[in-house]
Amino acid sequence: MKTIKQHYRVDRREIAFLKFILEAYDGIAVLKTEDASQGVITAHIAPGCEKQFADVLQDLKKDIMIEPVQMNTKHLYLHTIGCQMNVYDSEQIAMRLAPLGYEQTASMDSADLIIINTCSVRAKAEQKAFSLLGRLARIKRNKRRLIIGVGGCVAQQEGEKILERMPCIDLVFGTQAIDRLPRLIQQIEDRRCRLVDVEMDEVQDIPEFLEGPRTESQVSKFVTIMRGCDNYCAYCVVPFVRGRETSREPESIIREIRILVENGVKEVTLLGQNVNSYGKKQRLCSFPELLAKINAIEGLLRIRFTTSHPKDLSPELIVAFRDFDKLCPHIHLPVQSGSDRILKRMNRKYTIDQYLDKVAKLRDTCTDIAITSDIIVGFPGETEADFEKTLELIKTVEYDGLFAFQYSDRPNAPSVKLPDKISEPLKRERLQTLLDLQEKFTKRKNKVLVGSTQWVLTDGLSKKQVSGQPDAGNRALQWTGRTPSNKIVNFYLDEHPAANQSLAGQLIGVRIDKAFSHSLFGKATGAEPSAGGLKGVENYAA
Ligand code: SAM
Ligand code: SF4
């Protein structure tokens, strides 16, 4: 809900009294102290309550001094490093800081508050966070009142040490402190103090979703359905920085998705470290049962989810790909290694045979399913023979796409203590070999789609439209979107009946003319999607 902001100066001894009075008028406005020393407050008035609020003030003015003041909006620069969960958290951070008067800015230089939401899953992401924080120290030298906060996994992991190491930082807040953030920022504004909040609970409180303003880009949104992880894969820092696995109540998830759909969202991607174990610990519904509830939400076109741990991929989830018309035919099923010996050392709790069996069942049930995966190269003790097995697995599965990473030691992860570490040059070499191999399969999978008509959910205008590439000379508007199997399609309209409308959020039938390594290119056919075709990859090629 967007509130109306008004700023006032009052006798600072009266601020508490004002807040107390307004509580009696339940919900008409919330008062925030902007500057306690000057008695400056901001009233966030609920829409439709402006008149009632003005009457209350008029009454109070008889006894205390209240005068309106002009205030500059405060600017928040929010930088997100890492996974989709951090993207979701950052949006929620922005929503929570709006009532304090913060509006988001794309310029670091004009910010009054800078928040860096960090990731520590791999060493590179952590280095990126520290190098950015180093740059911020220089900005703060010329702007003393700037507040700098560090959140996310690095903040959780390093806590107080960040304040010791970097005098420019005012706040370190952990992965479970998002709900407490407004209070922490308020304290810093009022007292110019430095704070750390990295408290972690065994059962975490999942912050309630706050609705944001509608923007055209809101075609597809992430929805966090669970937090934390209990799997303790040997290489992974997540259980230590994101805490114990906790699922969100289904009602809260459904409510969030309904609000998103009312605001124009057409596709949701459900997020969890292992969605297959959703609800089990707290005896909520199962993940396929949750999918059934979401599938019934009117107006929603597509559902995706990530990530699925292979050990917990159930037969019920496999058939969900057949039974739920909105569930897109794509699964991200991280395998990590093609060697049983390495999988055991990684504590992944499945073998390659079991993994391949699940891949076969998925393809039997849903013939057009796209499968992607994560692979770590150079895990401690990985021999040439182990690495060869990973390459063999890639050839056997023929993934649609892969995210491959060089192993890095992470704090607290058990693999730190494992012997036989692989050298950096060898890890780099293995990564390149693997990526080169996968590139062939990615291209081949894309090429198969040339000549077919795909239902593309349009995100917005394509970046390529300005240059007219890759169709040189083509001056028609180019749009971008994704197929049900999650492949990026850039397309143009030409004589399409909808040529003058915005296509963002629309399902458009696109004939695929060209395939590249990481995208497809085609032309809108004007064909209308049928109910059955909403998610399916219907092939109209002869
Ligand atoms: N929960 C998901 C799962 O089980 O696959 C993914 C979690 S993690 C945020 C994303 C990916 O980062 C992992 O699948 C793994 O490939 C990679 N990763 C995690 N720890 C790593 C490490 N220490 N070194 C290199 N890659 C790592
Ligand atoms: Fe990390 Fe394993 Fe949990 Fe994924 S399942 S977050 S890799 S511990």
Of all atoms in ligand 1, which is nearest to the CA of residue 307?
2
Per DSSP bridges, beta strands 246-247 and 226-227 are: antiparallel
Point out the ligand 1 atom lying closest to the alpha carbon of residue 233: 4
Closest ligand relative to 306 C-alpha = 1
The mean pLDDT value for 235-263 works out to 94
Q: Which residues pair with 4 in a beta bridge?
A: 45
The residue type found at 398 is E
Specify the residue with its C-alpha closest to ligand 1, atom 4. Answer: 309
* Residue of 86, 233, 348 with the most ligand 2 atoms within 8 Å of its CB, for mutation: 233
**How far is it, in rounded angstroms, from Cα 64 to Cα 43?**
16
Confidence of residue 187 (pLDDT cuts 50, 70, 90): very high
The C-alpha atoms of residue 284 and residue 275 are separated, in whole angstroms, by: 13
* CA atoms lying within 13 Å on the CB side of residue 188: 23
Look at ligand 2, atom 4, and give the residue with the nearest C-alpha.
273
Residues framing ligand 1 (Cβ under 6 A): 83, 121-122, 235-236, 238, 273-274, 307, 309, 334, 336, 374, 376, 405, 407-408, 410
pLDDT over 60 at 186, yes or no: yes
Atom of ligand 2 at shortest range from CA of 348: 2
- Ligand 1 center to 233 CA (angstroms): 9
Is it the case that residue 249 has pLDDT exceeding 90? yes
How high is the pLDDT of residue 216? 46
Pocket of ligand 2 contains residue 346 by CB under 6 Å:
no
275-319 tens-digit pLDDT: 999 999 999 999 999 999 999 999 999 999 999 999 999 999 999
Q: Which of 8-12, 281-285, 429-433, 437-441 has the lowest mean pLDDT?
A: 8-12
Whether ligand 2 lies within 6 angstroms of the CB of 176 is answered as: no
User: Three-state SS for 515?
Assistant: strand
> Which H or E run contains 342?
helix 340-345
pLDDT of residue 469: 54
Range among 20-24, 217-221, 496-500 rated most confident: 217-221
Distance, CA 226 to ligand 1 centroid (Å)? 17
How far is Cα 26 from Cα 143, in angstroms, rounded to an integer? Answer: 39
**Does residue 309 line the site of ligand 2, with CB under 6 A?**
yes
Is the separation of the CB atoms in 400 and 370 below 8 Å?
yes
Residues 6+ apart with CB under 8 A from 445: 370, 398, 400
Q: Are 456 and 483 in contact (CB under 8 A)?
A: yes
**Candidate of 226, 238, 350, 412 to mutate for ligand 2, largest count of ligand atoms within 8 Å of Cβ:** 238
Q: Do 335 and 309 meet the contact criterion of CB atoms below 8 Å apart? A: no
Q: Give the residue-averaged pLDDT of 17-30.
A: 82
Find how far residue 49's CA is from the centre of its chain. 34
Of 64-78, 338-352, 477-491, 526-540, minimum mean pLDDT range: 526-540
Q: Residue 454: what residue type?
A: Q
Q: How far is the CA of 339 from the centre of ligand 2 (A)?
A: 18
The CA distance from 335 to 339, in Å, is 10
Omega within 30 of 0 (cis) for the link into 480: no
| pLDDT score at 468 | 47
Ligand 1 atom 19: the closest Cα is on which residue? 236
Range with the lowest mean pLDDT among 61-65, 231-235, 257-261, 504-508?
A: 61-65
**Whether the Cβ atoms of residue 160 and residue 172 lie closer than 8 Å to each other:** yes
Ligand 1 atom at minimum distance from 229 CA:
1
Amino acid at 7: H
Residue 171 near residue 185 (C-beta atoms within 8 A): yes
Ligand 1 midpoint to CA 121 (Å):
7
pLDDT of residue 242: 93
Q: Which of 333, 435, 346, 427 is nearest to 391 (CA)?
A: 435
Closest ligand 1 atom, residue 83 Cα: 9
HSE toward the beta carbon, residue 174, CA cutoff 13 A? 20
Give CA–CA dist 272/225, Å, rounded. 6
Atom of ligand 1 at shortest distance to CA of 231? 4
Query: Does residue 306 line the site of ligand 2, with CB under 6 A?
Result: no
Ligand (nearest to CA of 349): 2
Confidence of residue 219 (pLDDT cuts 50, 70, 90): very high
Q: Report the candidate in 335, 361, 362, 359 with the shortest Cα–Cα distance to residue 349.
A: 335
Name the residue of 88, 121, 175 to mutate for ligand 1: max ligand atoms within 8 A of Cβ: 121
Quote the CA–CA distance of 526 and 55 in Å, as a whole number. 56
Mean pLDDT, rounded, of the chain: 89
Q: Is the CB of 231 under 6 A from ligand 2?
A: yes
- Give the nearest ligand 2 atom to 236 CA: 1
Cα 225 from chain centre: 12
Secondary structure (DSSP) of 198-239: ----SSPPPPPP-PPPP-TTTTEEEEE-EE------TT--HH
Which atom of ligand 2 is found nearest the CA of 273? 6
**329: Cα separation from own chain's centroid:** 20
3-class SS of residue 521: strand
Q: Which two tokens stand for residue 246?
A: 């906790």
Dist. CA 81–CA 224, nearest whole Å: 17
238-239-244-249 Cα dihedral, nearest 10 degrees: 20
Alpha-carbon span 116 to 326, nearest angstrom: 35
| Token pair recorded at residue 2 | 């967007």
DSSP state of 468: T
What phi, psi does 233 have (nearest 5°)? -60, 145
Residue 264 pairs in a beta bridge with none
Question: Over 90: is that where the pLDDT of 370 sits?
Answer: yes
pLDDT digits (tens, 9 = 90+) for 24-49: 787 788 887 776 767 878 888 887 88
Cα 387 to Cα 65, 140, 392, 422, 513, distances in angstroms: 75, 47, 9, 12, 36
Render 34-100 in DSSP notation, one character per residue: EETTTTEEEEEEPTT-HHHHHHHHHHHHTTS-EEE---PPEEEEEEE-SSHHHHHHHHHHHHHHGGG
- Tell me what the mean pLDDT of segment 100-121 comes to: 92
Q: Determine which residue's CA is closest to atom 2 belonging to ligand 1.
A: 273
- From ligand 1's centre to the CA of 341, what distance in Å? 18
**Confidence band (pLDDT; 50, 70, 90) for 542?**
very low
Give the pLDDT band of residue 536 (cuts 50, 70, 90): very low
Looking at the DSSP bridge assignments, the partners of residue 374 are: 403
CA of 369 relative to ligand 1 center, distance in Å: 23
**Taking residues 452-460, what's their average pLDDT?**
92
> Radius of gyration over alpha carbons of the chain, in Å?
26
Contact by Cβ (8 Å): 345, 305: no
Atom 9 of ligand 1, residue of closest alpha carbon? 121
19 alpha carbon to ligand 1 midpoint, in Å?
47
**Confidence class of residue 415 from pLDDT cuts 50, 70 and 90?**
very high
